[in-house]
Amino acid sequence: MSVELYPVPGSESEVDELVESFLESTVSEEGLIPNKQFLILLFGEEASEAVETVTTVARDQDPTVEQALEIGKLRVEALDERRLNTFTTSLLYNMLETDPDADLQATIQSDRITDEDERKIDYYLPRVVDTVTELVETQEDAIEASLHSMFPIEVQTDRASDMNDRLEKDIVTDQTIIDYLLLASGATDATEDVRSLVKFLRENDIDDSGYISGGSDNISGYKRVFSLSYDLPTDGFRDEFRTAQQLYEEGATGELFNVLNRVDPEIDIREIYSHEAPIERLLTSQFAGNDRKIAERLLRTINGTRAIQNHREHIDSEYTETRDSLRETIEDTQKEITRLQSHNDTFTSEKIEVSSAEIDQFENVIERVDQINSQIIRYLFGVEREQRTSVFTTIETRIGQYHTQLQDRRSEIDMLINELDQLNETKDGHLNTIDRIYEEIQDTSVTIDVPPVEQVKTDLDSRWDDRLQELKSDLPVIDLDKDDDEIDATIDEWEQLINEAKQDLVSLAQPIDKLETFNQQIQQIEQKRERTRESLETVIGLMEDTA
């Protein structure tokens, strides 16, 4: 660790000004950088009395200087031994008088130094060096203890290592791992409610359903976050999750929260993954290798939870908006499912299989999240972040896609059902045609022997309905929960069966065409009779006039 030593004569009336210059130019810029420490060394007759003054000056500086002082990276010490003070003061003024810009080593080795002064230097300077060395070593120990007290996590354990290995293997990305840690941190204050929620998600295979999967459409996946949280066989949190909880509880100290609020007051809640607190590198410098990576992710999680707590109203507002939008999408999808199910009224048995159960369960998810008294859980489920959508947004996007798929399928099925309805309308048209033909025949003077009209209509109606019922019975079930290829194949089969039935029904209607032809012939006979009748009436009229 490098040391920035700043010796200041404590007897100077401008000591505060001298110290402020060092604090503003050096400590303010580098006070929280790892492997650096700063020692203000006061010397002279009034050195001890000036310690409190200089310390107060440091505390009145910006948060970086103030925090460096709190941690111990900045220390204010005085040379207490009178003879060392006298020697140091004398040496300083001697250097200033001789050559203020000269290096200390060059000055004490120059010919200007008398033998007597040289003997004093040989005696006192090593003692000054020893004193400073001891102060620096004490300061180093204090810094280490202070950092551990502020961020007292135990990551050098097999459990922490196993957790990290599992998360990096299965979850992979830093952002999603931090989401996992956020879920664990939310579970520290609402253990049973979070346990109930993730158990519900896993018991109902929601984590495997695709509704919380990412990888496309610019939405984030949460499958691994939940599957690695809860273990169904043991009915409890997984070891990795409990380790994450324990690490969060260890690290999220009140002292750390106070420090972060002081040195990092402004943090965008959407950027917690990439936001590096000014003190992050310093706090994580006490770890190495994978341990440091664990510490970095955990610290960003803790800083994120701090930001979440500091933005409660905003998070509540955005959560409510995201939740209500999801509810609306669920309701729209349920209505679409109801429309599809209503087509089954056309049949004596269910021909359109589509269930709202999978969608309905997300209402239960919403209710469970609503009941959890945790801003962290609300943030995770309802607030959009950089490169990560909320859980609810991911679910809404997937349900919305399902809704669109159902709409497209309903358009196809509507056309098929419409064809079935048209077949009924065609039958009604044929029956009306029969009525018209019989009425037209009855209006003629031609006497013919034809079957009763009701018998003809009943026969057609019965045979037509039988063929339609046979068609509806033969139609395979369209299971909208199947793969697209299977659904497409079933719809193709419907089209084929409907076309075959149409051909059969055309055959059933052929006698009507013959009856229509017969009717036309009768009408022609009737017209001939009418013309003959008119001619006879004309001849009779002429005969009467002649008589």
CB 10 within 8 A of CB 42: yes
Evaluate whether 4 touches 38 at the Cβ level (below 8 Å). Answer: yes
Amino acid at 412: E
From first to last of the 547 residues of the chain, give the pLDDT tens digit: 799 988 887 766 678 888 998 999 999 999 999 999 999 988 777 778 889 989 999 999 999 999 999 999 999 988 765 554 555 555 555 544 455 544 544 544 455 554 455 555 555 566 667 778 888 999 999 999 999 999 999 999 999 999 999 999 999 899 999 999 999 999 998 999 999 999 999 999 998 888 998 877 788 999 999 999 999 999 999 999 999 999 999 999 999 999 999 999 989 999 999 999 999 999 999 999 999 999 999 999 999 999 999 999 999 999 999 999 999 999 999 999 999 999 999 999 999 999 999 999 999 999 999 999 999 999 999 999 988 999 999 999 999 999 999 999 999 999 999 999 999 999 999 999 999 988 888 888 777 778 888 998 999 999 999 999 999 999 999 999 999 999 999 999 999 999 999 999 999 999 888 888 888 888 888 788 778 777 777 777 777 666 5
Note the pTM of the prediction, 2 decimals. Answer: 0.84
Rounded distance between C-alpha atoms, residue 319 and residue 220, angstroms: 17
- Inter-residue contact 185 to 131 (CB < 8 Å): no
CA 390, CA 326: separation in Å to the nearest integer?
11
Which helix (H) or strand (E) is 42 found in, with range?
A: strand 36-43
Q: Residue 349: how many CA atoms within 13 Å on its side-chain side?
A: 10
> What are the DSSP calls for 87-130, one per residue?
HHHHHHHHHHHH-TTS-HHHHHTSTTS-HHHHHHHHHHHHHHHH
